[in-house]
Every structure is written in C-alpha cells, then in structure tokens.
Amino acid sequence: MLDVRRIREDFPILSRTVHGKPLVYLDNAATTQKPRQVVAALAEFYERHNANVHRGVHTLSDEATALMDAARRKTAEFLHAPKPETVVFTRNTTESINLVAHSWGRKFVSAGDEILLTEMEHHSNLVPWQMLAKEKGARLRFIPVTEDGRLDLAAAPGLITAKTKLVAFTAASNALGTLNPVPGLIALAKSRGARTLVDAAQWTPHYPTDVASWDCDFLVFSAHKMMGPTGLGVLYAKEELLEAMDPFLGGGDMIERVSWEGFTPNVVPYKFEAGTPNIAAAAAFSAALDYLSRAGFAALHEHEAALTKRALEIFAEFPAATVYGPKEPGARGGIVSFNIEGVHPHDVGTAFDLEGVAVRAGHHCCQPLMGRLKVGGTARASFYLYNTMNEVEALGGALAKTAAFFKRPAGVK
C-alpha cells in the first residue's frame, strides 16, 4: 500500500491553497506535479555539473554526458528495451510522433498506403499522420469507438488491409480513461505485416511497460506526465528501424561528418537528437523514474483504482452528471471525464477551481472524439499517486455545489 501521507511531503506544491481553499490537484493527465527529488536533481545539475554534452573535453562536460547516458540507460530499463541506443530523447510525445511521421513515414509510406488509427487518438497521434497522408496521398482509417468509449475491436481486423503500413494507437485514452488491449492490437497488426506505434503518454505513468514482450515498433511518451520535468519526451524504436530511418532535424550532434557538399549522419540514437538536448531534464527524469520504482506500480495501481472507484460511485449519485468511458472500473484508468447537464465544461472547471479543485475542461485535444460523443467537451478529473480519498470527497463536494448552483428551476429550459 502506498504511504500517501509520506509521499505528499515530497510535493510541496500540494500544500498550497487556491482561492483560499486547499489545492486538490486532479489534472494529472495533463501534467503531474514533481517531487522534491526531481526538483533537486534539476538544481543539482545546474549548480554542480552544467556543461554541454559530447563536445567538451573537460570534466563538467563529461559529467553532463554521463548524466544523459545514465538517463538513457534507466529509461531503456524502465521500458524493458533491449539497448539504451533504442531510446531517443525528444521534447515530448508530440515531437516523438512527428519524428516517426517524418523520418519513417516519409521514407516508407507511399501513395495508396493506409495508416490505421483509432477514433480516440489525441491530436498528437492524428495531425502528424494527416500531414503525412496529405503529402503522400496515403489514406487514414480509424478503429471506431463504441458508445461506452471502448475500441470496437470486432471492427479492427476488417480495417487492416494489405495496404496498411502502420497501426498507431493510444494505450490509454486521455479523454475517456479507457485502457486499450495493447498486446492484442500489436499482435493483430503484426499478423498483417503492419508496423505499430503505441502512444503511451497516459500509460507509462501508471503501468509497467514492456516493449520487448509487446514487440511494438515504436512507443512514445512524455516525462512530464510521470513526475519528470517538462521539455523531455521519449521515442523508443526498434534498432533496425532507427538505422533505416533518415534524420529528423538537421544540425549539431546529429552528424558524423559535414562538408560543403553534404553530411554523414551520426550513429543511432544521436542521429535523431540534433542540437543541445535537455540535459537537465534528462538528469531529473532519472530521479522521477527512481521515485516511481520506489512507489511500485502494483501499489500505485491499487491506490488509483480505489480513488477512481470512489469517484465513480460519487458521480453515480448525481443524475445531472454524465460520466464518459467504460462503466467497469477494470476497463479504465484513473481518469473520470464528465459533464453536468446544462453546464458548459469550462464553467464546471471555473466553479471547481473556486473550490480549490483543479480539473481540466475542454476537448482534451480530441476534437473528433468529442464530435463522436456528441459533446463540445467535458470536464476531466485525473488521479495520481499523491491524491487522497479526502480529495475525491472534495471533488464530490465541488460537484454537488456546482450542480446545485446551476440547477434550473423546474420547467425552465
């Protein structure tokens, strides 16, 4: 079991107030808070080791390089990746997907090819493919989402054709909380000879990830959603794919040799890391991974499942509230996306904020999915390891107050 009281001591921000109320931070799917250990690692880098990597033949540069290498090794271990070289550091999930669309897509996707996505993708895993499809004359297809917010898996096999080059899907939906059957989808894609990309932005913070046993081709996520700093993303890819792909951005570090006429790219993964990387963030991400491994995914999951179950019970008591996504707690992660009848989600967000409760409101970068659900947007509460049962009750309190405030007199539409 998680010692949440102890954990909260590592997050000074959680003891601040908002509008005179204790902060109840339930916007973890957008970004998580950072423990002291991560902030200390950032400060330690700048106070003791700051230098650029690779280029310097001096002690500080060696230390900075060692910190970056250590972060890459730790990330590879975390993912069960075969080699540190299969881990490319980017700015975020979005950049990782753009890298694949640019460097793999431009080379291996041609006119008439198909890319299979799902209807629950974040814009990050949609727009780069739209851009590629437009450029190449390729076609995007989508695994539909059912009424209760799951992937229509029965439809999936029929959507993979001989032309399907890639199946790219989210492991967990940021808008609905749905957990998708990652190994099954990968197996299906592989059986038809398609490559796979897993958007693990909402997965890696909460569940163990094993790219070796999943055997996915690409997997992407962001450090900031798992207690790490902003400005650091990860692309895992199979080594042979990284070798076959062309560079993404051009500049320093990604080259081996440059002449007036051209350049020879650097070895993997540096070929994809042009310019000065976010060294401080990488060092701090190591601290975040350590923190997560000390907490343990089993305990984390048990805790989040209990919070989510209670939140769903509270919502079920409010006829004016609609919760989106699968009904069974086992089919969803720690995200509760909801609307209150007759109240705009932004008003819900503002009303909750006045109670100190931070939730997200809007389309969650999933506009087509919102269209599918026939809503303009939703409010979304999302949990992490430092949230408490009392905070779930505070969420319920904010819900009751907001629903009562906006309740229309009988007969008024």
Asked whether 341 and 347 are in contact (CB, 8 A), the reply is no
Compute how many residues bind ligand PMP; rule: CB under 6 A: 13
d(CA 78, CA 66): 18
Segment lying near ligand PMP (by CB under 6 A), choices 43-51, 198-206, 207-215, 336-344: 198-206
Environment class of 238 (CB within 10 Å of its CB; exposed 0-12, middle 13-18, buried 19+): middle
According to CB under 6 A, which residues from 81 to 100 bind ligand PMP?
92-94
Segment lying near ligand PMP (by CB under 6 A), choices 120-128, 253-261, 262-270, 349-357: 120-128
**The binder of ligand PMP chosen from 14, 201, 232, 295 (CB under 6 A):** 201
**Which residue's CB is nearer to ligand PMP, number 93 or number 266?**
93
Minimum distance between the CB of residue 62 and ligand PMP, rounded to whole angstroms? 30
d(CA 72, CA 192): 32
d(CA 338, CA 341): 10
Segment lying near ligand PMP (by CB under 6 A), choices 53-61, 122-130, 143-151, 302-310: 122-130
**The binder of ligand PMP chosen from 98, 174, 286, 402 (CB under 6 A):** 174
Categorise residue 80: left if φ over 0, alpha if ψ from -120 to 50, beta otherwise: left
Segment lying near ligand PMP (by CB under 6 A), choices 194-202, 238-246, 263-271, 283-291: 194-202
Minimum distance between the CB of residue 405 and ligand PMP, rounded to whole angstroms? 29
Segment lying near ligand PMP (by CB under 6 A), choices 118-126, 181-189, 284-292, 348-356: 118-126
Nearest by Cα to 77 from 86, 64, 89, 67: 86
**Biggest alpha carbon–alpha carbon distance for the chain:** 77
Gyration radius of the chain's alpha carbons = 22
According to CB under 6 A, which residues from 266 to 295 bind ligand PMP?
none
Tell the residue number behind the tokens 């309190």, with chain if given.
Answer: 397
Q: Pick the catalytic residue: 182, 300, 365, 395?
A: 365
Asked whether 116 and 158 are in contact (CB, 8 A), the reply is no
Minimum distance between the CB of residue 182 and ligand PMP, rounded to whole angstroms? 13
**Which residue's CB is nearer to ligand PMP, number 63 or number 199?**
199
Asked whether 256 and 57 are in contact (CB, 8 A), the reply is no
According to CB under 6 A, which residues from 325 to 384 bind ligand PMP?
365
Minimum distance between the CB of residue 102 and ligand PMP, rounded to whole angstroms? 15
Judged by CB under 6 A, does residue 124 bind ligand PMP?
A: yes
The tokens describing 396, both together, are: 């319920």
How many helices (H) and strands (E) the chain has is answered by: 15, 17
366 carries an active-site annotation: no
Minimum distance between the CB of residue 245 and ligand PMP, rounded to whole angstroms? 20
**Helix H or strand E encompassing 379:** strand 378-382
Minimum distance between the CB of residue 313 and ligand PMP, rounded to whole angstroms? 25
| Pairing status of strand 335-340 against strand 321-324 | antiparallel
**The binder of ligand PMP chosen from 199, 217, 273, 304 (CB under 6 A):** 199
Minimum distance between the CB of residue 222 and ligand PMP, rounded to whole angstroms? 3
**Which residue's CB is nearer to ligand PMP, number 49 or number 338?**
338
Tell the residue number behind the tokens 């069960």, with chain if given.
Answer: 80
Asked whether 273 and 58 are in contact (CB, 8 A), the reply is no
d(CA 231, CA 236): 17
**Which residue's CB is nearer to ligand PMP, number 234 or number 392?**
234
d(CA 199, CA 218): 9
Q: Catalytic positions, please?
A: 365
Residues that bind ligand PMP (CB under 6 A): 92-94, 122, 124-125, 170, 174, 199, 201-202, 222, 365
